[in-house]
Amino acid sequence: MIRICSDKDKEVLLQFLKSDPLLHTYIIADMERYGFDKPYQSIYMIENESFCEGVFLKYYNNLIFSKTAENIDPEEISRYIFPEITNIMGELEVVKKVAGYMGVTDRMTVHNLYAQKKAAKLPDCGLSHIRTAGLQDVDVIYDFLMSFPEFRETYARKEMIENRIEKGEGIHILMEKEGKIIAHGNSAASTDEACFLGGICVAPGRQKNGYAAAIVQALCTEIHKQHRIPCMFAPEEKEYTVFHRLGFEKYGKWGTIQMKGDNR
């Protein structure tokens, strides 16, 4: 049975989700931050005889799945993939079952989840300067990120960057040369146990100089200071050796389905 949750279910949900706090970081973070009574967020429990066997969360146009019991019914889950859903993501085996049932396996991508459980030494990035961004940097961060097509949707609102910096909800790290940003990274979803990295990008023509590694490790250093484990996703088809050099280990697998309107 699937049912929508309320605040009274929070303790049960957290007990289930914290059985794997790294894989469930996004669900835990959104539940803690936005709760159960927002028009843009709904949380559902997959329940069997009063036991929680899985959780999924709808946040605007995203549907995020936890690990679930092996006997999960993808047909039942598919009833909650509303027309506005454009992204389905979560633990790989669940996403695979949903994609197979809906006939959209060609739209699924697989990512590895990496975790850096122990702090590593910050690499020498050479000529450039790394610093933590402040409110005075919002405009240049936004302009820099908008120069990368893959980030235009994620960081479409400048106010989001401003709010994260002003309220201390996230860290933005900059690398500069001659007064211009040449590399950037930020923290994303976080819980008491873990924090994800995002927005890692290096200016065109500046790649292969170790700048991305330096940005990643600068972020990791700050995250470890908060007694959290830095995590990030990377495409499965590439061997991200830079993560291994920085002490990251493969932790799990994550699936994503990009939905379109023609399958409903």
- Examine the domain organization and report whether 146 and 76 are in the same domain: no
Q: Is residue 213 part of a domain?
A: yes
- Examine the domain organization and report whether 154 and 109 are in the same domain: no
- Examine the domain organization and report whether 136 and 93 are in the same domain: no
- Examine the domain organization and report whether 69 and 137 are in the same domain: no
Tokens of 61: 């146009």
- Examine the domain organization and report whether 81 and 31 are in the same domain: yes
- Examine the domain organization and report whether 64 and 139 are in the same domain: no
CATH code of 43's domain:
3.40.630
Q: Is residue 44 part of a domain?
A: yes
Angle (CA) 188-193-197 rounded to 5° is: 25
- State the Cα–Cα distance between residues 216 and 198, nearest whole angstrom: 9
Domain total in the chain: 2
List all residues 6 or more positions away from 135 whose beta carbon is below 8 Å from its beta carbon.
162, 165, 166
Q: Is residue 61 part of a domain?
A: yes
Rounded to 5, what percent of the chain is helix, strand, coil?
35, 30, 35
Indicate the pTM of the whole model.
Answer: 0.84
CATH code of 185's domain:
3.40.630.30
Report yes or no: 212 and 200 within 8 Å, Cβ to Cβ. Answer: yes
Backbone angles phi, psi at 249, to 5 degrees: -125, 145
How much of the chain, in percent, has pLDDT values that exceed 90? 64
Q: Is 112 helix (H, G, I), strand (E, B) or coil?
A: strand
Q: Are strands 229-235 and 194-202 parallel, antiparallel or unpaired?
A: parallel
- The pLDDT assigned to 124 comes to 60
Q: Which domain holds residue 148?
A: 129-232+239-247
Which of these, 157, 206, 162, lies nearest to 181 by C-alpha position?
A: 206
Q: Is residue 120 part of a domain?
A: no
Q: What is the pLDDT of residues 156-199, one digit of tens each?
A: 788 889 988 988 888 999 999 888 999 999 998 899 999 999 99
How much of the chain, in percent, has pLDDT values that exceed 70? 93
Q: Is residue 123 part of a domain?
A: no
Please give the average per-residue pLDDT across 82-109, as a whole number: 93
* DSSP assignment letter at 105: G
Question: Model confidence at 262, in pLDDT bands (50, 70, 90)?
Answer: very low
- Examine the domain organization and report whether 96 and 179 are in the same domain: no
Q: How far is CA 87 from the centre of its chain?
A: 13
Q: Are strands 62-65 and 87-91 parallel, antiparallel or unpaired?
A: parallel
Count of helix runs (H) and strand runs (E) in the chain: 8, 12
- The pLDDT assigned to 125 comes to 54
- DSSP notation for 120-149: -PPP--TT-EEEE--GGGHHHHHHHHHTSG
- Examine the domain organization and report whether 7 and 106 are in the same domain: yes
- Examine the domain organization and report whether 105 and 142 are in the same domain: no
Q: Is residue 23 part of a domain?
A: yes
Q: Is residue 90 part of a domain?
A: yes
Q: Is residue 124 part of a domain?
A: no
